[in-house]
Amino acid sequence: MHNKLIKAAGISLSFLFLLACGEPEPQAQSQAVLSLDADYTQPLAAAPVAIVPKPVSVSPLDGEFKLTAATQLHIAAGAEPVAQYLRELIGPATGYTLPLAQGDGAPSVIALVIDPAIEQDEAYELTVAPNKISLRAKNIVGLFWGVQTLRQLLPADIETNAPINRAYWPVAGVAIKDAPAFKYRGMHLDVSRTFFPVWFIKQYLDLMAMHKLNYFHWHLTDDQGWRIEIKQFPRLTEVGAWRSGTVVGHTYDKTYLNDNQQLGGFYTQAQIRDIVAYAQARNITIIPEIDVPGHASAILKAYPELACVEKDFDVQQHFGVFPEVLCPTEETFAFLEKVFTEVAELFPSPYLHVGGDEVKTEQWASCTYCNELMAREGLEDYFALQGYFIGRVEASINKLGRKIIGWDEILEGDVAPSATITSWRGVEGAIHAAKAGHDAIMAPGSHLYFDHYQSRSVDEPLAIHGLTPVQETYAFQVMPDELKGTEAANRILGAQGHLWTEYVRTPAKAEYMILPRMSALAEVVWTGDEGRSWNDFAKRLPAMIERFEQKGLNVAKTVYAVTSEVAHTQQGFQVILTSDMPNTKIRYTTDGSLPNHTSPVYKQPLLLKNGGVVRARALNTETGELYAERRLTLVDHLGLHASLEVLTEADRAWNTHPELSLVDGVLARDQIFQLDDWATFNGVDFEAIVSFDTAQTVQRLNLGFNPGRFRDFFGPTKLVVLASDDKSSWQPVASQDFTNDAKPQLGNSVTLEFAPVAAKYFKVIAENRAERFSTEKSKPVPATLYIDELIIQ
């Protein structure tokens, strides 16, 4: 029981940075800080070179280039669009127009050169000398990425839209050579669950361009709304783009609230053409996704004749996986062919995404037509029917001269090798696909889903579930070891980050979820598996965050979240606090108060003899900013000195050792909801035996059942405790009914207090309600009981 190491940090990288735990020296960073304080009459120092994603090589050169109103552009034939982009990029802040160079002798020139000597696609070379910035690439794609690098060499306030009157804009002398590690570098956005306006999509594309990301996977249709105008089927948007309410809070919470507000929207074909052109000007290919045959509620509300069953379909008002599925009839395939024909006219992408994820087959099972079709086609199961469905859609799309991409589920249906796979359920889908001759895109939820929480801070806004800190995204290895050096390695095209938007209801929150995880992703796919290191990235990241803020974006600072390791030893709880960022100190308290600028600075592991509350925040030593807290509630109780045997069946999918986590002294009820911290019981009671070496006196039990600030779960209906000295005859000690629990009365835990009883063995029973009503499934399901800690006192 002693020296139990409790993994409270959940971040594998954190140990690497223990050395930084002392009091770090403030980094000497002279970067162009905050335009608000800048004195524009004084010459500004050039920004230190801090490029994200990290280029292949960066060599400092003497001197600096001064960008002024007199700077002229030398533009290679064909490079005009890049020149135009550069002008638009720097125009608002500088007011400069960058006229064309007249002859060779101009004193201040930016040259955009097409150089056939540079062989690799998308590669570029950038040299900054006092009189000339020279950017060379094989083609305009490389030039465009080079402009993104040049942009990051300029002072951060180049990103503002307001004009800044400055004598010149300095660029540090440097020679950069660069090329991407992977050719597919993507970001996904779900506009069905939340509809985002055109300006936001353009901003998303701008951010992608800044990060040298080149594929935008646009998730345009789902159960909660159809978002693309299709001329032949107007009801898709007249009816399918609107829902008459949205769940308030999380779908899986115990009470279902709905805002009853009509909500929706869609992109007209004109808007889509405009967005496609905008993306093209940024070297971004937009891959539209029309998700079939599942996630079809919005389609079926508009055209119920495409369903296998008769039902009053609706555009869904909450989130989850629904049984609504398209029926594999000729009518459906003809419909989809027409839809994809219009989609293909709008999007020049070589790929069209057909979805294929999370298909429920119950509506197929109840349909005579489907079963006859299966018999006729020799389809053995519903996976095969799904394969048949995707195969038919693929044939239509191939006729349009395009290739399909599908989520990894489509592999289960024997899909043709010409399909590319987006591997979201881990990396195995991609490995399997690559070996079977498919191209594949890495998209594992574990590292690349930006709808997950980014830190354990209780202050994190509601997220769907999961924990994917920036560090975790950064650590993602695109090329699996087992494929390295094999033929199949060529099939791994790259990777993409995802923003599903069930719980991302505003542009500001979307910005928060992607920034700066998008920066970490960029380095994963551009810099590649070799040649990048967190320590190095962490030094460059503050400059990137500064650029986002200059743009007025809502950036998450969760990368500054303090991480922790807790061990319980003979002396008490030992707490190690870590910051993964170099420009920080950690300030902490143990008196329950929120740390402020005068709280103690963390220097060495803390020892809390009898437990207590540790609240810690990182302090940015450059800006003075204090970030969101890491809170640890540690309780020393008899359970830490006992062994625990769980008698009922725990769901061990996420937490393999509930016997340990239930008595580790670390409470999870005041953090984000993270499944691995909780013992989980589906449709069964929690029943456990606590065994002591010698008899102990017990008079109080407490069980936490409700996670975090933004979730609301059912607690146990009853607590029962029995005692025994031989583990066979049990004496009742106490019991209490909590059937009518409510969060405001109970808080996040239930407590049972009783007259002291001494015994070697205690049996604890927390009764679970038999069922709860599932909003997702619209019917009662077995209730789940979560318990973070069994506090025994």
Active site residues: 222, 295, 358
Interface map 694-713 toward ligand TNX (x if CB under 6 A) = --------------------
Contact 433, 487 (CB under 8 A): no
Contact 651, 680 (CB under 8 A): yes
Tell me the closest approach of the beta carbon of residue 500 to ligand TNX, in angstroms.
3
> Which one, 59 or 506, has the nearer CB to ligand TNX?
506
Q: Strand 263-264 to strand 242-243: parallel, antiparallel, or no bridges (unpaired)?
A: antiparallel
Q: Is 358 in the site for ligand TNX (CB under 6 A)?
A: yes
Q: Strand 351-355 to strand 403-407: parallel, antiparallel, or no bridges (unpaired)?
A: parallel
Tell me the closest approach of the beta carbon of residue 221 to ligand TNX, in angstroms.
11
Residue of the chain from 115, 122, 451, 687 that contacts ligand TNX (CB under 6 A)? 451
Closest CA to 551 of 175, 209, 55, 168: 209
Interface map 452-471 toward ligand TNX (x if CB under 6 A) = ------------x-------
Residue of the chain from 449, 476, 503, 738 that contacts ligand TNX (CB under 6 A)? 449
User: Quick one: 312 exposed, middle or buried, by C-beta within 10 A (0-12, 13-18, 19+)?
Assistant: exposed
Tell me the closest approach of the beta carbon of residue 299 to ligand TNX, in angstroms.
15
Residue of the chain from 357, 394, 472, 788 that contacts ligand TNX (CB under 6 A)? 357
Residue of the chain from 500, 548, 692, 762 that contacts ligand TNX (CB under 6 A)? 500
- Structure letter (DSSP) for residue 704: E
> Which one, 136 or 295, has the nearer CB to ligand TNX?
295
What is the footprint of ligand TNX within residues 596-615 (CB under 6 A)?
none
Interface map 643-682 toward ligand TNX (x if CB under 6 A) = ----------------------------------------
Please tell me the distance from the alpha carbon of residue 526 to that of residue 528, in angstroms, as a whole number. 5
Please tell me the distance from the alpha carbon of residue 683 to that of residue 784, in angstroms, as a whole number. 6
Angle 382-399/368-377 helices, nearest 10 degrees?
A: 80
Residue of the chain from 145, 407, 762, 786 that contacts ligand TNX (CB under 6 A)? 407
Tell me the closest approach of the beta carbon of residue 746 to ligand TNX, in angstroms.
30
Tell me the closest approach of the beta carbon of residue 228 to ligand TNX, in angstroms.
17
Please tell me the distance from the alpha carbon of residue 567 to that of residue 25, in angstroms, as a whole number. 28
Tell me the closest approach of the beta carbon of residue 449 to ligand TNX, in angstroms.
5
> Which one, 55 or 429, has the nearer CB to ligand TNX?
429
> Which one, 337 or 412, has the nearer CB to ligand TNX?
412
> Which one, 295 or 617, has the nearer CB to ligand TNX?
295
Tell me the closest approach of the beta carbon of residue 360 to ligand TNX, in angstroms.
12
Q: What is the dihedral of CA 245, 246, 248, 253, to 10 degrees?
A: 120
Interface map 201-220 toward ligand TNX (x if CB under 6 A) = --------------------
Helix (H), strand (E), coil (C) string for 745-790? HHCCEEEEEEEEEEEEEEEEEEECCCEEEECCCCEEEECEEEECCE
Please tell me the distance from the alpha carbon of residue 755 to that of residue 760, in angstroms, as a whole number. 16
CA 448 → CA 55, 451, 561, distances in Å?
Answer: 22, 9, 19
How many residues touch ligand TNX under the rule CB under 6 A: the total is: 9
Q: Is 424 in the site for ligand TNX (CB under 6 A)?
A: yes
Query: Which tokens in the block code for residue 444?
Result: 């594992």
Q: Is 412 in the site for ligand TNX (CB under 6 A)?
A: no
What does the angle CA 565 – CA 568 – CA 570 come to, to the nearest 5 degrees?
Answer: 145
Where do contacts with ligand TNX occur on this chain (CB under 6 A)? 357-358, 407, 424, 449, 451, 464, 500, 502
